[in-house]
């Protein structure tokens, strides 16, 4: 697909649309809540320090550091079918360059559209683990968001897009240690995307036919040709916030289990928990638990159910540096995860069966639960230190009222969070 054709679809996005502005506001506040939680963690603060020290604290390095930390939290919004997580790139980049609300709204929405489109075309969940769709799309999200926020022409936006993805891939392996290159590569991808937009602004030219079927197929075995049908200017509405820190593959199971606790299941009396998930969701959440490995504690479903049972406040704990109690770890051993071919709906639905005193309780949690997105966001904000929570609530009001200062105020908060370590969440 020629990059000009792709950008022509994005060009119809109306940054002045109130419904779109409200959606972008939600995503903005959600991303900054993640940034606030991540900035106060050990690894998050290390990433931000790296970008401050190597980028002299400029707007570009600030955006890159913010993107890396937002994605690091594993609390940022996700488009489940494609595994795209564009909030982490689109929000910091657009904030860094947009000067008014309509431009900002269009930049964020367009970043989401290109991020989901490329992530879907590369194969989405089917591309894992060899190719990480979110990483593959990250430079393009940053480039498109930056180019629109800078007010570049459609031709320059198209050039920024192809310059950003040239030479890129979503192959990152499985970096270990702390700080991890898993998150550094997100920041570096954002740097590349912003630089591509700046290069396009300077009239540097790329190959507008780069995104060909042959090129796409070279990115992953599961890739398909990028087509106009992949580009949905309203897809930001389908990028859903996470209610707590977790691998998305396990969230529905945690929700289902939590409903059973609310209905009276006593964790002390629970003998076993059987979780059934779509086959594609099982590998991530059923790897052996390594309690000293942060990502393992976020992905391992048995531990997550133990947290829900005995330390529910730590569902908001991004850092994971404090040891878990023996009751949580012992509970994790009672959880078994199995694949169920009948769970075919989008969103990795889950069925959870709890055995308690010889009786069983069962709950199913679908993709589209009825909880309001605002309620999810409010809980996330409330888990932060009061000063940050108050600032985010004020920003919500500014966007709702179309306050001309909303973008500048939000940019100021982002810079304050990246310029110095933020307070941890209450759960940490």
Please state which of the ranges 167-171, 308-312, 320-324, 409-413 shows the lowest mean pLDDT. 167-171
Which two tokens mark 297?
């504690």
Task: Break the chain down into helix, strand, coil percent, rounded to 5.
Answer: 55, 5, 35
**Helices within 150-221 (DSSP H only):** 154-165, 181-201, 213-217
Average pLDDT rounded to a whole number, residues 53-81: 92
**What is the model's pLDDT at position 170?**
82
The model's confidence at residue 366, banded by pLDDT at 50, 70 and 90, is confident
Can you give the pTM of this predicted structure?
A: 0.94
Question: Is the pLDDT at 281 greater than 60, yes or no?
Answer: yes
By residue count, the chain amounts to 428
- The predicted-structure confidence for 92-116, as pLDDT tens digits, reads as follows 999 999 999 999 999 999 999 999 9
- Mean pLDDT, rounded, of the chain: 93
| DSSP per-residue string spanning 252-264 | HHHHHHHHHHHTT
Average pLDDT rounded to a whole number, residues 70-91: 96
**What is the model's pLDDT at position 424?**
46
Average pLDDT rounded to a whole number, residues 144-159: 98
């Amino acid at each position: 697909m020629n990059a000009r054709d792709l950008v022509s679809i994005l060009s119809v996005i109306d940054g002045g649309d109130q419904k779109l502005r409200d959606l972008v506001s939600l995503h903005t506040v959600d991303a900054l809540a993640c940034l606030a939680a991540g900035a106060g963690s050990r690894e998050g603060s290390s990433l931000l320090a790296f970008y401050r020290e190597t980028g002299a604290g400029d707007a570009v390095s600030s955006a890159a550091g913010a993107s890396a930390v937002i994605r690091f939290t594993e609390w940022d919004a996700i488009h489940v079918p494609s595994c795209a997580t564009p909030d982490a790139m689109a929000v910091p980049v657009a904030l860094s360059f947009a000067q008014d609300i309509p431009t900002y709204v269009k930049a964020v929405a367009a970043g989401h559209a290109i991020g989901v489109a490329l992530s879907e075309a590369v194969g989405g969940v089917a591309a894992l683990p060899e190719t990480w769709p979110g990483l593959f799309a990250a430079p393009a999200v940053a480039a498109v968001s930056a180019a629109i926020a800078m007010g570049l022409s459609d031709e320059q936006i198209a050039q920024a897009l192809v310059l950003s993805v040239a030479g890129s891939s979503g192959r990152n392996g499985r970096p270990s240690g702390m700080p991890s290159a898993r998150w550094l590569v997100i920041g570096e991808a954002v740097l590349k995307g912003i630089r591509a937009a700046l290069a396009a602004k300077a009239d540097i030219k790329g190959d507008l036919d780069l995104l060909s079927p042959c090129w796409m197929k070279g990115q992953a075995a599961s890739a398909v040709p990028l087509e106009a049908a992949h580009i949905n200017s309203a897809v930001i509405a389908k990028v859903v916030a996470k209610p707590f820190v977790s691998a998305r593959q396990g969230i529905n199971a945690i929700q289902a289990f939590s409903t059973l606790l609310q209905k009276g299941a006593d964790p002390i009396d629970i003998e076993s928990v059987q979780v059934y998930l779509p086959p594609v969701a099982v590998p991530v959440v059923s790897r052996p638990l390594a309690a000293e490995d942060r990502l393992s504690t976020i992905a391992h479903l048995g531990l997550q159910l133990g947290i829900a049972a005995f330390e529910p406040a730590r569902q908001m704990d991004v850092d994971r540096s404090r040891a878990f109690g023996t009751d949580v770890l012992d509970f994790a051993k009672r959880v078994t995860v199995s694949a169920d071919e009948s769970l075919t709906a989008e969103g990795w639905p889950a069925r959870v069966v709890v055995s308690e005193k010889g009786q069983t309780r069962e709950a199913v949690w679908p993709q589209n639960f009825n909880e309001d997105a605002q309620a999810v966001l409010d809980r996330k904000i409330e888990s932060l230190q009061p000063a940050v929570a108050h600032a985010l609530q004020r920003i919500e009001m500014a966007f709702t009222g179309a306050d001309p200062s909303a973008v500048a105020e939000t940019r100021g908060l982002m810079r304050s969070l990246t310029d110095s370590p933020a307070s941890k969440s209450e759960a940490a």
